Amino acid sequence: MADYTREGTKQNKAAQFFFYKNTSNILEAQVAISSVSEENALQNLDKITSFDEAREKATQLWAKNLNKIQVETPTDSLKNIFYTALYHTQIAPVTFSDANGECRLQNDSIVKSKDFTVYSTLSLWDTFRAEQPLLTLLAPENDCRCGHCTAMKPIV
């Protein structure tokens, strides 16, 4: 894996892990990323202490989001199709700003968002016709999830 320093020089990083089977077949790992720094990545780790806790939190969050619309049909396959499509509308964009609000812009500068979340993985190609209005109805508090543009104004 290659990394670049702020001065633009290339740094190579590598890691090798060995796992020995002792008493369990279970391997739990916590992983976090940051576009800014290793310290921010560590701060981004949730306070969740176990996989089971993370799974329960994710299950509750997805249930809350997917249950905002109730489909009534005797045909289970139609429900599966609908809720799969609804799930796909909500897997992106993703939060790009760190827990402390910092994020790295396209010009490699670091900014701190104060009153909004910076999102990434935006696919605005033709989503304004259906997906954006749907997301506005489902989560008006996130209206225009591309509000991250505010952070980009200084470099536009």
Question: Per-residue pLDDT tens for 87-136?
Answer: 998 888 788 999 999 999 889 999 998 888 888 877 767 777 788 788 88
Give residue for tokens 């290659």. 2
Burial of 40 per CB tally in 10 Å (0-12, 13-18, 19+): buried
pLDDT of 76 reads 95
The more confident residue out of 44 and 131 is 44
The full set of domain ranges for the chain reads 2-155
Q: Which pLDDT does position 36 carry in this prediction?
A: 94
Contacts of 96 (CB under 8 A, 6+ apart): 35, 103, 118, 119, 120, 121, 148
Both structure tokens of 85: 């499509």
Q: Is residue 145 very low, low, confident or very high in pLDDT (cuts 50, 70, 90)? A: very low
H/E segment holding residue 3? strand 2-4
